[in-house]
Amino acid sequence: MVSAVTARKYYPKKKITMLKNVAHGVVPCGIPYMFSSLSCPEDNKLSTSPLAEKQIEVCCDAVVRIDRDEKAVHTESGSTYSYEKLILAVGADPVVPPIPGVNKDGIYSIHKDLEYLRKIIDETRQVKEVLIVGGGFIGIELADDISKMEGVNVSLVELLPRLLANSFDEEFSRMVEEKLKTQGVKIKTKTKAVEFLGEAAVTGVRLDNGEEIKVEKVILGIGAVPRTQLARDAGLDMGRSGGVWVDEYMRTSDPDIFAVGDCAAKRDFFTRKHAPVMLASTATAEARIAGANLYQLKVVRENKGTIAVYSTFIDGLGLGSAGLTEQNARQEGFEIAVGNAQGFDKHPKSIAGAQQTRVKLIFSRRSGILMGGQVAGGVSAGELINVIGLAIQQRISATELETFQMATHPCLTSAPTKYPIVLAAQDVREKM
């Protein structure tokens, strides 16, 4: 959708057609909140009406083959669409782990399909014991929202020693764990589901510690893999570690075919390795580049790479992460220095609703460049992480951050004397 809308802006006279294989899509980030926060699943429906307004044709059909010589795609229903330029935005498939019994009834992956999700939600409403497999963003947000459903008990198992382990350092993971535990979610980290029990329908799960727990529904939230079959069949190059290979302008190895979003390979901003980041915000940034550059390279993309910029919200706790975590940075071999700051998100702290805010910044020790940051606080943590994300994308130094001119207000931010991004930058300078 974003590719199409952007292409329309830059190329007003071109005929633009969007082929999609799901009749009613959903807002991806809203999926976990369809269980209880939103009053009905339809509230999260993705409308394609903005496309119609912009003279973009929308067809519901699945592309089964790309014919690069003919410059046409063939669909499931037998139609053929010719193209001058083609954008692949086909997304990813959820990983289904090879656990015995994983195909039993009542075990679901997440698909961005309103009808499919409505069915899961309706069924979940009728049970008491729900298991979530995976403690990443999808897993913890589902656990949060489902635990708010009347009479539903939620368990969560995660293979790694802590939740959100790829995006946050330990002290932040602990905060999420505590929040979810307070809501009654039973969390088992360092734990693996080894078998799903029951006849046709799942009735329990056996864990690697031998424990068996009763479950009536299971939701798998353990990641996804880029959908690349179409591109492979068409002979397009693949990235080294998954995803369709693209250049800085989102062009595949065929200059008339672009790829964006989860299906496209990404390189990390700092490590220059494959970045397994599947975020709507990353996808929209890529889509804007592709849409602009279809016929002419209008938007110069410097070789910046992907920054993982995430936020989430668990029962009043806003969390954000951008760039590398301390753990990731050390593992990748960066010599770093870490700054921390704590304060309140309003000031003075006696003002109504003031909440603790914590900021952690990770800098390259020698060059002084900001490489990552994490935030915990209230609602404003959502934009605070975007200040940090922008600073990373701008390759800002600790010194520049130290003298950052920011707006502050008692009801909206911490005090100017205690603005946590500035204080964390000051903290790190003492260590450098």
Please report whether residue 419 would count as binding its own copies according to CB under 8 A.
Answer: yes
Residue 194 dihedral angles phi and psi, to the nearest 5°: -105, -20
- Choices 37-45, 195-203, 221-229, 329-337; region in contact with its own copies by CB under 8 A: 37-45
Closer of 42 and 57 to its own copies (Cβ) = 42
Please report whether residue 52 would count as binding its own copies according to CB under 8 A.
Answer: no
In the range 58-117, which residues lie near its own copies by CB under 8 A? none
In the set 123, 237, 332, 383, which binds its own copies (CB under 8 A)?
Answer: 383
Amino acid type, 193: A
Please report whether residue 403 would count as binding its own copies according to CB under 8 A.
Answer: yes
Q: Are 198 and 101 in contact (CB under 8 A)?
A: yes
Please report whether residue 402 would count as binding its own copies according to CB under 8 A.
Answer: yes
User: Six-digit token pair at 89?
Assistant: 């935005």
What single string gives the DSSP state of each residue in 250-277? SB-SSTTEEE-GGGB--BBTTT-SB---
Please report whether residue 390 would count as binding its own copies according to CB under 8 A.
Answer: yes
Please report whether residue 271 would count as binding its own copies according to CB under 8 A.
Answer: no
Identify the CA nearest to 61 among candidates 45, 77, 85, 80: 77
The rounded distance, in Å, linking the Cα atoms of 63 and 81 is 9
The rounded distance, in Å, linking the Cα atoms of 16 and 54 is 9
Please report whether residue 385 would count as binding its own copies according to CB under 8 A.
Answer: yes
In the range 308-327, which residues lie near its own copies by CB under 8 A? 309-313, 318, 320-322
Please report whether residue 33 would count as binding its own copies according to CB under 8 A.
Answer: yes
Closer of 40 and 59 to its own copies (Cβ) = 40
User: Six-digit token pair at 414?
Assistant: 């911490």
Amino acid type, 119: K
User: Six-digit token pair at 343?
Assistant: 């304060």
In the set 29, 159, 194, 225, which binds its own copies (CB under 8 A)?
Answer: 29
In the range 352-381, which residues lie near its own copies by CB under 8 A? 352, 378-381
Smallest gap from Cβ 311 to its own copies, in A, equals 4
Give whole-number Cα distances, 196 to 65, 103, 104, in Å. Answer: 36, 9, 8
Please report whether residue 203 would count as binding its own copies according to CB under 8 A.
Answer: no
In the set 43, 105, 170, 233, which binds its own copies (CB under 8 A)?
Answer: 43
Q: Are 65 and 74 in contact (CB under 8 A)?
A: yes
Alpha carbon of residue 194 to chain centroid: 27
Please report whether residue 239 would count as binding its own copies according to CB under 8 A.
Answer: no
Smallest gap from Cβ 36 to its own copies, in A, equals 11
The rounded distance, in Å, linking the Cα atoms of 52 and 74 is 23
Smallest gap from Cβ 246 to its own copies, in A, equals 14
Closer of 140 and 220 to its own copies (Cβ) = 140
Runs of H (alpha helix) within 83-201: 114-125, 137-147, 170-182
Closer of 135 and 378 to its own copies (Cβ) = 378
- Choices 87-95, 191-199, 217-225, 383-391; region in contact with its own copies by CB under 8 A: 383-391
The rounded distance, in Å, linking the Cα atoms of 408 and 386 is 16
Identify the CA nearest to 313 among candidates 117, 137, 132, 158: 137
Smallest gap from Cβ 37 to its own copies, in A, equals 6
Site string for its own copies, 335-354 (x = CB under 8 A): ------------xx-xxx--
User: Six-digit token pair at 393?
Assistant: 């994308």
Smallest gap from Cβ 240 to its own copies, in A, equals 22
- Choices 1-9, 118-126, 180-188, 196-204; region in contact with its own copies by CB under 8 A: 1-9
Smallest gap from Cβ 418 to its own copies, in A, equals 9
Please report whether residue 422 would count as binding its own copies according to CB under 8 A.
Answer: yes
What single string gives the DSSP state of each residue in 361-406? EEEETTT-BEEEEEEEESTTHHHHHHHHHHHHHTT-BHHHHHT---
Q: How many residues bind its own copies (CB under 8 A)?
A: 79
The rounded distance, in Å, linking the Cα atoms of 327 and 334 is 10
In the set 39, 49, 296, 303, which binds its own copies (CB under 8 A)?
Answer: 39
